[in-house]
Amino acid sequence: MPSRRRWPWCAKASIKSSAANWKHSKFKRECHSLSKTPKSKVLGTGRAVPERVLTNADLEKMVDTSDEWIRSRTGIERRFIASKDDLTSKLCASAAQKALAKAQISAEQLDAIIIGTVTGDAYFPSTACYVQEILGATNAAAFDLSAACSGFIYSLTMADSMIAAGKARYVLVVGGEILSRITDWTDRATCVLFGDGAGAVVIGPAQDEHGVIDTFIKSDGRLTSLLCMIGGGTKVPFDIALSEKLFHLDMQGPEVFKHAVTAMGDAASSILERNDMTGEDVSLLIPHQANLRIITATAKRVNMPMEKVYVNVQDYGNTSAASIPIAIDEALEKERLRPNDLCLMVAFGGGFTWGSALIRF
């Protein structure tokens, strides 16, 4: 009886591997192609800030600092500071109302409200639920997203994914913070940096090549201690946090600077590379407005001249998750962003978290 011919196990494994690799590469090509076809677009934008302006001259009277010292190290000249009556939800709702008006979308048409914040009105319910009540967005799901200064990019990624998956048609994305409530006003290294405000965008379905082309998000939980506010959570309960004064933002400045520049540069390069683009294709770079040195260093890492970089940190300070949507609204208002412009946004925040987005307006 003739022996049955058998495939060597290695040959079978090789064939399976080749087939798997082909399918994987085909899948990657298809995903890559799909990433270039926008599923959502920005329909409207808005911003809101408190009335009070705190200048560097004002800070000179509060801590041992000077206008020259602050400008040379941060580029910041002034920032908006919330009054005792201001709430994160109120700032977010104000920005949202402007965005809805520009989008010509009613609050009742919203399917979701996503708010990027680390300074919400309360531990729960979410600030998004308070905003939902103010707006009267009775048909929306509402939730917060905590990614610190990357909060807007993370929230935009969620909104874009919901629309692409058919889970939502119109989504309100807001970045809003009242950082002055967690700032140590006796610490001259950090109190000069932060400001309060909110920025909002309404996202809806894309009809053509204009819209959210791609987003990119990453994090590294090994570096949580370098930028944090740990008081009041289950790690450091209220009673201990009060006695040890741990209700303030804590930042290891030099280490944060180093990681921020590297991560933001990588986020910008990665999203451009996977969409077969370079900095030359970008009309405007909107980085998180942390400070001017980080902004300049990030632009240099992606070989973009400062003429193509939007900077407003001098007027707002670091508003965390609010900085990019505030800048988008302002750039559109000042016509730094025009129809068909390609905008690259990049952010970095506590966690560490970082991310980028490509949008054609």
Question: Quick one: 56 and 186 in the same domain?
Answer: yes
pLDDT > 90 in the chain, percent = 85
Is 15 among the domain residues? no
Per-residue pLDDT band for 38 (boundaries 50, 70, 90) equals very high
Residue 248 structure tokens: 């303030």
pLDDT for 14 equals 43
More confident residue, 17 or 43: 43
Q: Is the pLDDT of residue 183 over 50?
A: yes
Question: Quick one: 59 and 94 in the same domain?
Answer: yes
Question: Quick one: 258 and 321 in the same domain?
Answer: yes
Q: Is the pLDDT of residue 22 over 50?
A: no
Residue range(s) defining the domain that contains residue 195: 40-207
Query: What crossing angle do the helices spanning 292-301 and 253-273 adopt, rounded to 10°?
Result: 40
pLDDT for 36 equals 66
Taking residues 331-338, report their average pLDDT.
98
Taking residues 224-251, report their average pLDDT.
90
Question: Quick one: 72 and 189 in the same domain?
Answer: yes
Structural domain count, the chain: 2
Is 25 among the domain residues? no
Is 355 among the domain residues? yes
Question: Quick one: 94 and 187 in the same domain?
Answer: yes
Among 207, 238, 262, the domain boundary falls at 207
Residue type, 344: L
Question: Quick one: 198 and 312 in the same domain?
Answer: no
Q: Is the pLDDT of residue 33 over 80?
A: no
pLDDT for 265 equals 96
Is 27 among the domain residues? no
Taking residues 143-169, report their average pLDDT.
98
Question: Quick one: 243 and 288 in the same domain?
Answer: yes
- Cα dist from 17 to 13, 24, 28, 29, 181, whole Å: 6, 10, 16, 18, 56
**pTM (2 decimals)?**
0.90
Question: Quick one: 142 and 233 in the same domain?
Answer: no
Is 7 among the domain residues? no
Tell me the pLDDT of the chain averaged across its residues.
92
Among 207, 234, 261, the domain boundary falls at 207
Question: Quick one: 279 and 332 in the same domain?
Answer: yes
Among 165, 183, 207, the domain boundary falls at 207
Is 20 among the domain residues? no
Question: Quick one: 222 and 200 in the same domain?
Answer: no
Q: Is 7 left (phi over 0), alpha (psi -120 to 50) or beta?
A: beta
Q: In residues, how long is the chain?
A: 361
Residue 243 structure tokens: 């006695």
Is 23 among the domain residues? no
Q: Over the stretch 191-207, which tens digit does the pLDDT of each residue have?
A: 999 999 999 999 999 99
Q: Is 3 left (phi over 0), alpha (psi -120 to 50) or beta?
A: beta
Q: Over the stretch 57-71, which tens digit does the pLDDT of each residue have?
A: 999 999 999 999 999
Q: Over the stretch 83-124, which tens digit does the pLDDT of each residue have?
A: 999 999 999 999 999 999 999 999 999 999 999 999 999 999
Q: What CATH number is given to the structural domain containing 250?
A: 3.40.47.10
Q: Over the stretch 262-290, which tens digit does the pLDDT of each residue have?
A: 999 999 999 999 999 999 999 999 999 99
CB-side neighbour CA atoms (13 Å) of 334:
11
Is 29 among the domain residues? no
Question: Quick one: 266 and 156 in the same domain?
Answer: no
pLDDT for 244 equals 84
Taking residues 338-360, report their average pLDDT.
98
Catalytic residue set = 149, 288, 318
Taking residues 4-32, report their average pLDDT.
43
Question: Quick one: 202 and 226 in the same domain?
Answer: no
